Structure formats: structure tokens, C-alpha cells
Structure 1
């Protein structure tokens, strides 16, 4: 569980970096799992369209718990669910999770954006965590964000990548969140964030999960994923009639 000081910092700034969330050995094991998944699935490139002309690469996979049981266990690890329940309450529902590898020397950037643009909800419970599985200094294209920007509410989403106004939120002026292997970055989906190029000689490897309060319903059904709706802590208190998965039209 987070301390009162940690929660106060998060409420004020829209993010929190928890150093040493997992140990170096555990981070190395999860890193190996991510790179093994990447090797099994073959080349991918999740580079956003707005920066696709730079010749960079971003390896990724969604729904990682369907590829490695290590991430199934991680989703319900009490260390992680304790962070979530501290911030959004006792009921925590999975929205999606994914892995990223920014390759050496040409790992793609993420332009500045709010996650709200991809999956808007009626409330603000949607919370992301990025678990760093190797070191993420600025040269590797670490996350950059604008502290307190979650208080501005939803910003106009520009183009297919749902970016924010680059003149108002330039990447170079955002706060770099340099991290070590095992550190956990937590942020609200209204916090403006992005990341730079990996120009180092080593990959940057991360795992990301997005969760919500099950009663915080989406404005529109988009960004669907396998396993979405899985309860990681507590219950889904809504009254919903039972139906088989193949009967659902959602």
C-alpha cells in the first residue's frame, strides 16, 4: 500500500515513481520473458504514424498474460494490486497490458499525449503503471511528462495518434523520468506524457498495465483487448445478467 505522502504526491502531480518496486533479479527474469516473447512472435513495429518517417522501430505485444504465465501472476501480485487499491479503491479491473522494447540506437519515440484520447471514460480512475525491466536513462528514451497536467482535464486530441498540442506541451520541455530496472512509474490517464528516441547502445524494455474502477464506464467502446474486464482486486459490484462469452455483442 502507498503511504500518505506518496498518495499526496500522486494527487498533486498525476504520477509517482516507486524506486526498487521489484528487485534486480526479478526484473532480469521478466526482461528475459519479454525478449523471449519478442523472439517467438517475430518482428513487429508499433511506431506511431506521426513519427513513422524517422526510420525507427518499436517492438511490442499486447495481452502479455496470454503469452507468459509470469505476467498472469504479475497482474494479481499483491505488491501491484496494493498500489492500485491505494489510488482507485478496493475494486480494480484490468483494461489492458502490453510490453515494449525500444531497440538500441533507433528505438521509436512516443509523441506527447493523454491516454484519455485512446479510451475515454466517464471518470478519472484509469491508471497506468510502467514497470522498468532494464535501466531507462534519458538516452534510452525514458518517459517524459508534465507534472500536474492531469488537473487540466481532457485536451484536444490531434490526428490518428491522439497527440496533444506540441506547442503547448513540447517533448523537450517535459520532465524526464529516468528509472532503474525494477522501478515502477504510476500515472493517471489524463497526465500528459510521451518519450524520446532510444539513442543508446542498449534496448529499453518495459511492461505496461492499465486498470480502472469497474464502475468507471467507458464513453465509447474502443481499444478492446483479451482479458479486459478481469478483476485484479475486489469485485465488480454492477448488476449484470449472466451470458456466455460467445453471446456477447460488446
Structure 2
């Protein structure tokens, strides 16, 4: 897919732009689906919060920018579910980091016209740190993205420094310290793009983007892939092992309500329908929460039961009620 020159550019600069990787017809289909997704499910916000806004925006703009940010659009559209397996997209990633590739995430970054939010200088590494460097972000453009629309800007070669310490906390998105890393202090280059272009960049490449000041949307979708041998770090001391339980129609899985369980995305072209029934010993009673902490269960706060439908044992349903 990629030439040796393009691969070398990625290794040296931390990014490479591939023009027209997606055809106009593909972009039209994906863009139409994205319009539906944004209309049905999107929520407009000011974008990333944090003290960095004081350094990137005029005072009257700091709380007035707009953004629509959505994780995993394939939850809402089968069309977008196919993109993460796109042979052209995955083939380019394989050329950059090797043949064994694992998808990690998909995120929509949509900047509305006139005041589409900027993003401060940052790496993507602190958002999903892993134990290696072979992690590629792929920015697919659904719209023509000139400089004035807030195109991606990168610091060439910055990926060679590895993961850097970011400003983090409950009231801010991760970003690099503005007294050191700011467009006025660190040289970066803009990467204007056309609809269908894809920019591949390392998750350690420092990047940012400015306000969209045009009268058109700036929509791009980022896909993250990494070497399948890499593992996430910094989240849990020990990995929690779980086992999948495939089932046939008619099978029933019985499990305790204290059993930890989860399920992944349905990536097939068929429905996955299941119905859960809950039963308990008829002597058990529901319990409530602590009066001073509604988020903690108080096992001594026994409540009156109001759904006592006893299906076996010495009481009838009428006696139970």
C-alpha cells in the first residue's frame, strides 16, 4: 500500500498524509451516514475544557466554541462498522507497524462552522497508554479541510521523545504544559487535507488544531490501531481475566448477581437477543442506600418488597402480596 518513501517519512517525522485513500463515493456514503449519526445522537459542547483555553482563545471565545465529539460511531451505523476493517486503511497501518494489527478506537471530531473548537498541543498517548510505541492514529477527513478550518498541525519528529507528562485532572482534558508547549513557542506545521485523505501519525506525535473559522463543517474521524502484542498500562495493577460464553438459541446461562460480567459489541450482521430473568430465595428482602451517601448500599436498610411473585415454595402469590 505505502511506498518506502512514505514509510520512511512516517518513521522520521511521526506522520504521513495519504491523499485520496478513500474514493469520493466512499466519502459520500460515510459522510451521509455521519450526518444521520450527528443528527440523531450527537451533542454539541464547547469541546475540551481546561485552563489551556486561556492561552489559545480570546476571552470572548473561551466559553463560546462548539464541537461534536462521539466515540465509536459504529455503535450507531453498520456502514461505519465496516470502516475499521477497510483493507486500504488497515493495509497502510500494517506497512507502518507490522502485519499483526489490533483496532483500538474510533472517534468523531466535528468542528461546526465559525467557532469550531480548537485542541491544545498534546499527544494521544496519555489517553490510552500502552507498553509500546507501535500505535498509529489515522485521521480520515470527510470534508475538505483547509488551514482556516482548523486543520491538524503536528510537531515533526516529536514522537521520538516518547510519552511526555501532560496536565491532567477532573476539570481538564490531557494537554501539554502551555508555558512550554504552545504554537507560539514550539514550531509546528499545518496539514491541510481534502475529503478522503488520511493522515497517519504516531500516538506520541505532538499535535494540535486551531478554531474552525469557515462557514462549513470540519468533520474528521480518528481510528486507532496498534501492534496486537501491545498491552494497556497505567490503569489497573492486575489484569482481570474473563472468559467468553458463546451460546446457541435456547441455551440459558445461570449466574449469581454477584458475578462480574460484561459483553462486547455485536459486530455481526444479525440481532443478538436475550432476556434475563431474576430469581431469589423468598426469604430475602431488598435493601437500600445509606442516608448520607446515596451511592453506597446499606445492607441493614431493609425495604418493603413490592414485587413478591413467589414461583415455588410454601407461599402462594396471593399470600405473598
Query: TM class, shorter-chain normalised?
Result: 0.7 to 0.9
Which of 139, 147, 151 is 1:138 aligned to? 147
Decide which of 173, 178, 181 is 1:166's aligned counterpart. 178
1:175 to 181, 186, 189: 189
Higher relative contact order (CA 8 A, sep 6+): 1
How far apart are 1:207 and its partner, in Å?
Answer: 1.1
User: Cα distance, 1:167 vs. partner?
Assistant: 3.8
> Which consecutive unaligned segments of at least 5 residues does structure 1 have?
223-239
Aligned 1:69-218 pairs, distance under 5 A: 69-159=78-168, 160-171=172-183, 173-218=187-232
- Determine the C-alpha separation between the residues in 2 that align with 1:216 and 1:196: 32
What displacement does 1:75 show? 0.8
**Within 1, Cα distance between the matches of 2:220 and 2:26?**
13
- Quick check: 1:243 aligned with 2:244? yes
- Which segment is superposed worse, 161-170 or 132-141? 161-170
Q: How far did residue 104 of structure 1 move?
A: 0.3
Matched length: 233
Per the alignment, residue 17 of structure 1 pairs with 17
Structural RMSD (CA)? 2.2
SS at match of 2:173: coil
Aligned-partner Cα distance in 2 for 1:118–1:244: 30
Q: CA deviation at 1:145?
A: 0.7
- The CA distance in 2 between the partners of 1:153 and 1:60, in whole Å, is 26
Q: Is the 8 A contact 2:16 2:200 kept in 1?
A: yes
1:241 Cα offset (Å) = 7.6
Which secondary structure does the structure 1 equivalent of 2:12 belong to? helix
Instruction: Name the stretch that deviates more: 132-141 or 83-92.
Output: 83-92
Partner Cα separation in structure 2 for residue 15 and residue 188 of structure 1: 6
CA distance in 2, matches of 1:19, 1:90: 22
CA distance in 1, matches of 2:80, 2:143: 16
Which residue in the other structure is 1:227 paired with? Answer: none
Q: TM-score, normalised by structure 2?
A: 0.68
Higher alpha-carbon deviation: 26-35 or 240-249: 240-249
More helix, by proportion: 1
In 1, Cα distance between the equivalents of 2:226 and 2:27? Answer: 25
Tell me if the contact between 2:42 and 2:70 (Cα under 8 Å) persists in the aligned partners. Answer: no
2:31 corresponds to which residue? 31
- Residues 90 and 22 from structure 1, CA distance in 2 versus in 1: closer, same or farther, beyond 3 angstroms? same
Q: Deviations over 1:29-83 (max 9, x none)?
A: 2112112100011433261112393311111211111111111111111101101
